[in-house]
Amino acid sequence: MPNRQVACLILLVLAPALAETTVGGRHLSADAAPYARQVLRVPCDNTRNEVTFDHAVSVYQRYGCVQDLFSDTLVDLDSLYRPEPAAAESWSVADDGVTWTFRLRPGQMWSDGTPLTAHDYVATFRLCASPEHAWDFAWFYSFIGKGGLRNWDRIVAGEMPPDSLGVTAVDALTLQLVTEGPFPAMPSAMKFGYTLQKRALEEFGPYYNNDPATSVSSGPFVLTEFDPGYRIVLSANPDYTGYRPPLLQRIEGIYMSPATYFLAFQRGEIDLVGHEQLTPADFATIEAEPTLQANYLRHYGDFRTDYILFDTFSPPFDKLAVRRAFAHAVDREAIVAGIYGKMKAVAAHSMLMPGFPSADTTGALADLQRFDCDRARQYLAAAGYPDGDGFPALEMWMRGEPPATAAVYQASAASIAQCLGVRIQVSNKDGRVFMDALNARPTRLQMGAVSYGMDFLDAANLLGVWMSGGRHSWSDSTFDHLVTSAGAMMGQPEVRDRMFRQAERILVDQVGGVFIAHRWAGDLMKPHLLGDSFRQPDAKGIAGRRWGDDSLWGDMYIGDRQ
């Protein structure tokens, strides 16, 4: 009897402490809400077309609100966007510059009790390359370095079997990737190194995660409830042994229309809203209210730049003077201040946003496309169109942009039209019609306004899209040479950096595109959503979630609400 009483007493004393540990055994901090209330509620877009949770199954059709939580990537990116160990604990490259070896952290497990091995990664890469699967991100592994992963292109085309792919498992914990040409940014690129489970793939096919009964996870969360169109619930994975054990008990994804995200946030139904779903009216409300403003955490996002592109192979944009006239005719500062809003963007004079590697932070490139209406008119007159006389009427296409972005592009067109006296109409085309016209050879897109964000953190990425034969109808052989060589250069970071800067100067000076603005991303969060990784400003004073920083899932918790 007394033993029982003592036991009860001990339990009573320990109970509060016991309640404050997660299923993974971590202790919650003093300002955290009890574990039962560690629930993150996120909005899911009910207008999107989504089929899978996993990057390796489809990139553009993932359940965007709760994607990629069922495995860890090989690397994660730190606050300076450098690769740091995640599922892989170390990596190295051989002397030939093309053979990369990643060593997996030992002891990682799948939620069904089986160990995570390099064979899972191999099976995943082979799936991505297989012609039957027809992965929508397949272009990426052709694009890295010169030639991409070994045999990738030939396998995707069906000329070679998937097991000839340059991705092999040396042993259970060692993964080897071979590229066609040297690619120094490979570790960064492995931010996309997600994996599926080989056994589940073979047994249930690539969509095995869409059913809680067959879903397996090596990541911090497992699928508990799946009702697409209504709700998705993920629970903390009690068997997780990776680098980011979660403090949250549950993530709930609630489906709703993006037009009502902010309303739901104000009503307390969800805990965070991304900047892309915040309308200008919402931003006006945020700026007016100090609590909201303080909880809108800005960050670089994917260093997205808005710009205007041309068909430089046909008149009238084959003349450099015309392009320069257009570049000097856009009043970026006023557009960013008046229409975009300082919270959402900063004026751009080049492709790389300050903060990105090899970006111009000294303003050396600012003069090349600076707003100067007189100079613009001089250029246009020099090209043979004084005061815009004789200049053909233009139609600028946008790619299915939401109203806020469309307003910025329209303003850019208006700025050019008003300064130069040319006629520009703007048309917000359906995304597919736009890409169809852009990718046609020869291109049918005379003038368009788009944005591009990075896929991996290296100038080779954002400058690489400007190379000849790519999506942009502009070509400069010096530029191509610089970017290709620098992209493949191993070691010698200063030389590499210099070459990228030279290349960017050519791009801006020869007006491959007219650059309008760099975007600030951001998230509006509830005050009770806490976590040092996004609440503490980094060395540059930027707080907020970082692109590529998935370690925040081990850091995020719900504070005790007042």
Partner 1 sequence: MHSVPGGPFDTQQGQLTAATRANLEAKYGLDEPVWQQYLNYMSHALRFDFGIPYQQPQTTVAALIGRTWLVTLQVGLLTIVVAFSIGICAGLYAAYHQNSWIDHLVTFCATLGVTVPNFVIGMWLILCFAVARSWLPLGGWGTSGACLFGRYFCTDWILPVVAYALAPMAIIARYTRASIVDVAGEDFIRTARAKGLSEVALMRRHVLPNAQIPMVTALGTEIPNLITGSIFIETMFRINGLGKYFVTSALNRDYPMIMATFLLIALLWGVTYMLTDVAYTVLDPRIQFSRRSRG
Partner 2 sequence: MSAAANTLSHGFAWQATQRLLRNRLAVFGLMLVALISFVAMFAHWLAPHPYDYARFDRVLLLPLQHPEHLLGTDEVGRDYLSRLIFGARTSLLVSLLVQGVAVAIGVPLGALAGYVGGRTGFVVSRLIDVMTAFPSLLFAILLISVLGGGLHSVVLALSVTGWILIARLTRAQFLTLREWDFVLCARALGVPAWRIALRHVLPNALTPIVIAVSFGIPATIFAEAGLSLLGLGINDPMASWGKMVGVSNAYVRVYWHLALFPTLAIALTMLGCSLLGDGLRDALDPRHVSST
Whether omega before 184 lies within 30 degrees of 0, making that bond cis, reads no
The two beta strands, 424-429 and 394-399, are parallel
Nearer to partner 2, 268 or 403 (CB): 403
Nearer to partner 1, 318 or 430 (CB): 430
Nearer to partner 1, 259 or 490 (CB): 259
Cα separation, 290 vs 551, in Å, equals 29
Percentages of the chain per state (helix, strand, coil), in multiples of 5: 35, 20, 45
Determine, following the binding rule CB under 8 A, whether residue 269 of this chain makes contact with partner 1: yes
Do 252 and 65 form a contact (C-beta atoms < 8 A)? no
Binding mask 255-284 for partner 2 (x = CB under 8 A): ----x-------------------xxxx-x
Do 305 and 515 form a contact (C-beta atoms < 8 A)? yes
Do 541 and 295 form a contact (C-beta atoms < 8 A)? no
Determine, following the binding rule CB under 8 A, whether residue 404 of this chain makes contact with partner 2: yes
Determine, following the binding rule CB under 8 A, whether residue 337 of this chain makes contact with partner 2: yes
The entry of partner 2, partner 1, none near residue 30 (CB within 5 to 8 angstroms by kind) is none
Cα separation, 349 vs 178, in Å, equals 37
Q: Which of 429, 441, 356 is nearest to 397 (CA)?
A: 429
Do 28 and 18 form a contact (C-beta atoms < 8 A)? no
The entry of partner 2, partner 1, none near residue 260 (CB within 5 to 8 angstroms by kind) is partner 1
Shortest Cβ 402–partner 2 spacing (Å): 7
Determine, following the binding rule CB under 8 A, whether residue 395 of this chain makes contact with partner 2: yes
Cα separation, 90 vs 377, in Å, equals 56
* 3-state class (DSSP) for residue 22: coil
Determine, following the binding rule CB under 8 A, whether residue 429 of this chain makes contact with partner 2: yes
The entry of partner 1, partner 2, none near residue 238 (CB within 5 to 8 angstroms by kind) is none
Cα separation, 65 vs 232, in Å, equals 9
Determine, following the binding rule CB under 8 A, whether residue 72 of this chain makes contact with partner 2: no
The two beta strands, 231-236 and 447-452, are unpaired
DSSP 38: -
Determine, following the binding rule CB under 8 A, whether residue 158 of this chain makes contact with partner 1: yes
Cα separation, 219 vs 236, in Å, equals 9
* 3-state class (DSSP) for residue 67: coil
Q: Residue 428 pairs with which residues in a beta bridge? A: 398
The entry of partner 1, partner 2, none near residue 142 (CB within 5 to 8 angstroms by kind) is partner 1
Determine, following the binding rule CB under 8 A, whether residue 60 of this chain makes contact with partner 1: yes
Give the residue, chosen from 428, 443, 451, 484, that forms a contact with partner 2 under the rule CB under 8 A: 428
Determine, following the binding rule CB under 8 A, whether residue 392 of this chain makes contact with partner 2: no
The entry of partner 2, partner 1, none near residue 334 (CB within 5 to 8 angstroms by kind) is partner 2
The entry of partner 2, partner 1, none near residue 210 (CB within 5 to 8 angstroms by kind) is partner 1
Burial 456-468 (b: 16+ CB within 10 A, else e): bbbbbbbbbbbbe
Phi-psi region of 148 (alpha: psi -120 to 50; beta: other; left: phi over 0): left
Task: Say which residues have a Cβ less than 8 Å from residue 213's Cβ, sequence separation at least 6.
Answer: none
Do 143 and 129 form a contact (C-beta atoms < 8 A)? no
CB atoms < 10 A from the CB of 100, how many? 21
The entry of partner 2, partner 1, none near residue 331 (CB within 5 to 8 angstroms by kind) is partner 2
Shortest Cβ 517–partner 2 spacing (Å): 13
Whether omega before 34 lies within 30 degrees of 0, making that bond cis, reads no
Determine, following the binding rule CB under 8 A, whether residue 142 of this chain makes contact with partner 1: yes
Nearer to partner 2, 126 or 332 (CB): 332
Q: Looking only at residues 517 through 556 of this chain, which bind partner 2 when binding is defined by CB under 8 A? A: none
Q: Which of 546, 547, 488 is nearest to 185 (CA)?
A: 488
Binding mask 31-50 for partner 1 (x = CB under 8 A): ---------------xx-x-
Shortest Cβ 47–partner 1 spacing (Å): 5
Shortest Cβ 106–partner 1 spacing (Å): 35
Determine, following the binding rule CB under 8 A, whether residue 143 of this chain makes contact with partner 1: yes
Binding mask 402-431 for partner 1 (x = CB under 8 A): ----------------------------xx
Positions that interact with partner 1 (CB under 8 A):
46-47, 49, 51, 60, 131-132, 134-140, 142-143, 153, 156-158, 207, 210, 229-230, 255-257, 259-260, 263-264, 266-267, 269, 399, 430-433, 435-437, 439, 452-453, 455, 471
Residues that bind partner 2 (CB under 8 A): 259, 279-282, 284-285, 331, 334-335, 337-339, 395, 397-398, 400, 402-404, 406-407, 410-411, 413-415, 417-418, 425-430, 433
